[in-house]
Chains A and B, each alone.
Chain A
Amino acid sequence: MPKVTFISHAGKAHTVDVPVGTTVMRAAVDNGVPGIDGDCGGQCACATCHIFIEPEWQAKTGKRTEAESDMLEFADGTLPNSRLGCQIELTAALDGLTVRMPEGQH
């Protein structure tokens, strides 16, 4: 099962194990990781699962979808490595993924 580590804005790390195919958003929500609410349930409609991908993982997590870019364009604190966690499915290749979280999800 892939492991994913969430680092909060304050620097606190939470590592969780989830089945292959789980999205980064579900991995956080299912394990009670603070800071990711996933209001819309993964429909790319809310931007409450905004995360930053660490540079070494960017090639493996791929590019934003168009709908995702549209949501992120005016989200709070968007950076070039911003993604929505609901749009990234965890695979064996992403085992060990580390993501950082913004200060808030608005």
Chain B
Amino acid sequence: MPNAATGVVIVGAGHAGGSAAAFLRQFGWQGAVTLIGSEAVFPYQRPPLSKAWLKGTAALSDLELRPADFYANNDIDVRLGTTVSAIDRAEKVIKLGDGETLAYGRLILATGSKLRKLPVPGMDLKPVLELRTNLDADRIKAELQPGRRLIIVGGGYVGLEVAASARTLGAEVVVIEREPRLLARVASTALSEHVFAHHDSKGVRIELGASVAAISGDGGGRVTGVQLADGRTIEGDAVVVGIGASGHDALARAAGLTCSDGIKVDAAARTSDPHIYAIGDCSNRQLMLYWRDMRLESVPNAVEQAKQAASDICGKPVALAEVPWFWSDQFDMRLQMAGLPFDVATTVLRGDPATGKFAVFHLKGDGCVQAVEAVNMTPEYMAGRVLIGKRSIIDPGRLADTTIPLKQLLL
């Protein structure tokens, strides 16, 4: 006899899971809501961990998605420090790490992403760190003293944000990137070059096209630096690895849900099982704007999908998909990106990188705006978001001409 429970159980108490619990109540869900998180703290925002948190300008209460009493006040049963070992779809129960089973009417998987490990010798040396949780951030923070030499493996957003924070606090910083440019997977060449120059001007040493062969130690278990594949040695006191992540879809896979680079979901965050949803970093969603499916790692994506799942569960219409967007703060650079540069034929530069303010627009062959990347140029970013959402066709010459106000381009 299948279980008749009707409550919603959310696995994962990050930005996506925490938001889903709040949206369910906001949208009038009257049944039980259980939020299960493996970390010891209530849902919090991860983006500040590499910035304000490292620099000591934010407290954990600033990072919390909602105050601790919000959950009790909204009758949300939060189980912290709790892991989930299996999903039994036939019985509609999940098994917790301690052996307890919990029945669900609807299940929302918000299991996040899993950091890639650097496959080299010496990873057991101390301190070799990574950044996912507030505890990880605390371990990095402890290393950020003036004069300490920090080696960051990976020139992606997380690595570069940590580099900027560390340098601001006076640490010596070397960033090692395997690709020939920074942000190789996620940014245009123009943006990569600008970010490189800016970090360089602030004293961050960047090694491009450099692979780490091993972490080296002093024989007593302490890090002394890294060995590169080209034979060079870079000396340092601590290593932070930030080389990307993959969707945490192990539970879903074991339960037989359709997965491919994350848990496959539709535009309402529904998985291949009608009683199970997947949201945030762990999901691989339809992006109608680009006729593609992909996994997005971002807060806006987590919030948007949390809203989709909660709407669907509450019988509300699911909102139309938003234009994906991202932001990053490094030193005095605010980077804002919208859309994704698929099928791009032309890139258009608006503004002058030498002034520290510019935007790169990515257009298809027919002039349709697919993506924008802006550095300290928020109006261009916001206008870009509108253009992308409307699938506007723009003349590249006019877009590059800063004497033509943006407002005219939006007409």
Contacts and interface: CB of A to CB of B under 8 A. Distances in A.
Contacts of B48: 41
Given A30-B70, A32-B25, A74-B410, A39 B382 contact: no
A41 B63 contact: yes
Given A41-B45, A41-B47, A30 B67 contact: yes
Contacts of B96: none
B329 A43 contact: yes
B303 A39 contact: yes
A29 B25 CA distance: 12
Interface string A45-83: 111100000000000000000010011011100000000
B26 A34 contact: yes
Nearest to A74: B382
Given A71-B382, A74-B383, A106-B322, A29 B66 contact: yes
A33 B25 CA distance: 10
Nearest to B325: A46
A74 B379 contact: yes
Nearest to A41: B45
B406 A74 contact: yes
B70 A45 contact: no
Q: Is the interface of A mostly helix, strand, loop or mixed?
A: loop
B66 A30 contact: yes
B379 A32 contact: no
Query: How big is the B interface, by class?
Result: 20 to 34
A70 B19 CA distance: 27
A40 interface: yes
Interface in A71-99: 71, 73-75
B22 interface: yes
Contacts, number: 60
B299 A74 contact: no
A40 B378 contact: no
Interface in B22-57: 22, 25-26, 45, 47-48
A29 B70 CA distance: 10
B67 A32 contact: no
Given A30-B67, A32-B26, A39 B379 contact: no
B70 to A, nearest CB: 6
A40 B379 contact: no
Contacts of B327: 40, 43, 45-46
B144 to A, nearest CB: 21
Contacts of B74: 32
A74 B307 CA distance: 24
Interface string B296-317: 0001100100010000000000
B26 A70 contact: no
B165 interface: no
Given A39-B299, A40-B327, A70 B22 contact: no
B385 interface: yes
B287 interface: no
Contact of A70 (B45, B63, B65, B378): B378
A82 to B, nearest CB: 13
Contacts of B389: 106
Contact of A39 (B70, B300, B378, B406): B300
A70 B322 contact: no
Nearest to B298: A39
Interface in B43-89: 45, 47-48, 63, 65-67, 70, 74
Contacts of A70: 378-379, 382
B108 to A, nearest CB: 17
Interface in B131-173: none
Given A37-B303, A39-B299, A47 B67 contact: no
27 contacts: A29-B66, A30-B66, A30-B67, A30-B70, A32-B25, A32-B66, A37-B307, A40-B47, A40-B299, A41-B45, A41-B47, A41-B48, A45-B327, A46-B325, A48-B303, A67-B378, A70-B378, A71-B382, A73-B383, A74-B379, A74-B383, A74-B386, A74-B406, A74-B410, A106-B322, A106-B385, A106-B389
Given A31-B70, A32-B26, A41-B45, 7 more contacts: A30-B67, A30-B70, A40-B47, A40-B299, A43-B327, A73-B382, A74-B379
Which 8 A/B pairs are nearest by Cβ-Cβ distance? A70-B378, A74-B382, A45-B327, A41-B45, A74-B383, A73-B379, A34-B26, A39-B300
Interface of A: 29-32, 34, 37, 39-41, 43, 45-48, 67, 70-71, 73-75, 106
